[in-house]
A and B are shown apart, each in its own frame.
Chain A
Amino acid sequence: MSDILVSEQSAPGADGSGRPSGRLLEVEDLRVEFRTRDGVAKVINGVTYHVEAGETLAVLGESGSGKSVTAQTIMGILDTPPGFVTNGQVRFHGKDMLKMSAEERRRIRGEGIAMIFQDSLSALNPVFTVGFQIAEQFRIRRGMSRADAKKRAVEMLDQVKIPNAKGRYSNYPHQFSGGMRQRAMIAMSLALDPEVLIADEPTTALDVTVQAQIMDLLGELQRERQMGMILITHDLGVVADVADRIAVMYAGRIVEEADVFELYRKPAHPYTLGLLNSIPRMDERGQELRTIKGLPPNLMNIPPGCPFNPRCPMAQPVCREKVPPLLQVGAGRASACHFAEELVNRD
């Protein structure tokens, strides 16, 4: 039994190159709406993005921009009702998951695509030990014996640098600190060695110092295992060190997608520009923070034209009439703004 364990453990590194090249996970023209008593909220309105092996895609947006709902749709954990997928595809290794049987999808969860949640306290089951919840996957999905599963679970806890992993195995979630709990959550999501990891605001609930540690750990594990990672966040600061590409979402759409350096250097969408400007900077101390005026649109009643136009400082009449499509604006970057070229070409 132990050789199997060893071979499995060494699998990611050895296998990483052997994975099918190209698009590992693709989301295409996804549309999701929430049907509630008070009306239909169009939460996702044609989202397209992809992530490849060994790459980190950061999905950035305010709360309500649809970034988490997209992730839930990929995982197949969207609450239905009220949430309904009305259009689009979610392809994993080229196969549309939305058309798969429930059983097929289940097998992908954990092993193909795994997820880390924001609030580790409520995301972990309060009445089972942390160890049990990790070992459970080895027992149910890999058919291991209790003893072997426990051994592997302790190894996982060790990998995410939880001190005294063996002792912590039998602690309950509420006995962990926030940072340790998020580490345990990471250990749990990586247990089955997934090809894609979706991290939904993994550090939002944590202290700033702990945030950095967790992000470092995630980055390290992602490189080690050559996983594709989708990092969902509303915090531009978190993204910079870890992400390769960034997709910015607004009102259920991708408004800009770019290489992380390009995006920071020269945003091609006024919304991204606004986000970058609203980060407090040391060289601008004493000045008023520049914020984006107004509120995100009501998803039950999205304004015609560009959804950002009521808040946009550059808005022109055309913005109120035509929805700007997401178009290429240079190598490997795209923007959904009528004036994207002007933004990119200015100094």
Chain B
Amino acid sequence: MGRYLLRRLLQLVPVFIGTTFLIYWLVWSVPGDPFAGKCGERRCPQQYVDFMTDKYQLDQSIFVQYATYMKNLFQGDFGQTFGGRSINDIIMTSYPNTLKLAVVALLIEAVIGLGAGVLTGLRRNGFLDNLVLVSTLFLLALPIFVIAFVLQWLLGVKWGIVTPTVSSEMRITELLVPGFVLGSASMAYIARVARTSIAENRRADYVRTAIAKGLPMRRVVGVHLLRNSLIPVVTLLGTDLGALMGGAIVTEGIFGINGIGRQVYRAIVTKESATVVSIVVVLVLVYLLMNLLVDLLYAALDPRIRYE
């Protein structure tokens, strides 16, 4: 187990370097003149150019720049924006908001997605089953911004049940709709995976054995069937937490949440290269670590899997 963990961690390193370097290269090197458009319509003053070139080592090769950046990163320094603001600050203020949104989304996913999946998996081809199949198809197929708009317009504008946008206090009640929107696709996916998994396992031999042992149906389903069927679902939920944060750009934009997605979008539009790279680094890191965690979780849930 320990060796497996070490091997997986080592495997993470090239992927982490590769992904972050790709972004670093795209953001810093590809556009050519890093100062294009930085100072409005005019060219930037030479003094500014010199200062910036020195600060970000722009006269060095991309590899040196990247290496320096990584060195600072591992000392906990994400660098500064062009305006001199600490990127650590930006991340510190916006990251908790995104995390909060993602957790709300995950909870909604787990409760609704799992509930629907379990119910329909046990009782296939009923009205509820068809309802869930159709509604999950819609949730899976619709782009997130359409769902966001429709819900914002219906619930927020037309019926006035919720406030259309989220205030800076980030109350949980305000986050319910954005959370639902963010998690909608995964929720539908989880419902479907749970449904198939349960429907498949329901006919499994060990379920038959459990019935033959004279266990009450509650226990057969609640212990023997669920425990097996939910392994893929739990792992899905785990991977999702990492993915949700990266996918929060649209949701945060529409509902006006000051999260990491909105920050990174703003940074991209205003060409704040350093901010873009740093936020992507954080997102990639979280995503990779969540995946690793899920692998370990998988081993804990399914004793048949052994790591050597």
Contacts and interface: CB of A to CB of B under 8 A. Distances in A.
A and B touch in the complex (CB under 8 A): yes
Interface of A: 75-77, 79, 102, 106-111, 114-115, 117, 119, 122-128, 136-137, 140-141, 172, 174, 188-189, 192
Interface string B222-266: 001001100100000000000000000000000000000000000
A79 B199 CA distance: 13
Interface in B169-207: 203-206
24 contacts: A75-B212, A79-B203, A102-B217, A106-B215, A109-B212, A109-B213, A117-B205, A117-B208, A117-B212, A122-B204, A122-B205, A123-B208, A125-B206, A125-B227, A126-B302, A126-B304, A127-B228, A127-B231, A128-B224, A137-B214, A141-B215, A174-B304, A188-B209, A192-B214
Given A110-B213, A125-B206, A172-B303, 4 more contacts: A126-B228, A137-B214, A174-B304, A192-B214
B212 A122 contact: no
Contact of A110 (B205, B208, B212, B219): B212
A236 B143 CA distance: 64
A115 B212 contact: yes
B214 A111 contact: yes
Contacts of B216: 106, 140
A107 B210 contact: no
B11 to A, nearest CB: 26
B224 A137 contact: no
Nearest to B306: A174
A137 B216 CA distance: 11
A141 B210 CA distance: 12
Secondary structure of the B contact surface, majority rule: helix
A123 B205 contact: yes
Contact of B303 (A77, A79, A117, A126): A126
Contact of A106 (B209, B214, B304): B214
Secondary structure of the A contact surface, majority rule: mixed
Nearest to B211: A77
Contact of B213 (A122, A126, A188): A188
B307 to A, nearest CB: 15
Contacts of B304: 126-127, 172, 174
Contacts of A128: 224, 227
A269 B204 CA distance: 37
B301 interface: yes
A136 B214 CA distance: 11
A140 B208 CA distance: 17
Contacts of B209: 117, 123-125, 188
Contacts of B227: 125, 127-128
Contacts of A76: 211
Contacts of A127: 227-228, 231, 301-304
Interface string B99-124: 00000000000000000000000000
Contacts of B203: 79
B212 A141 contact: no
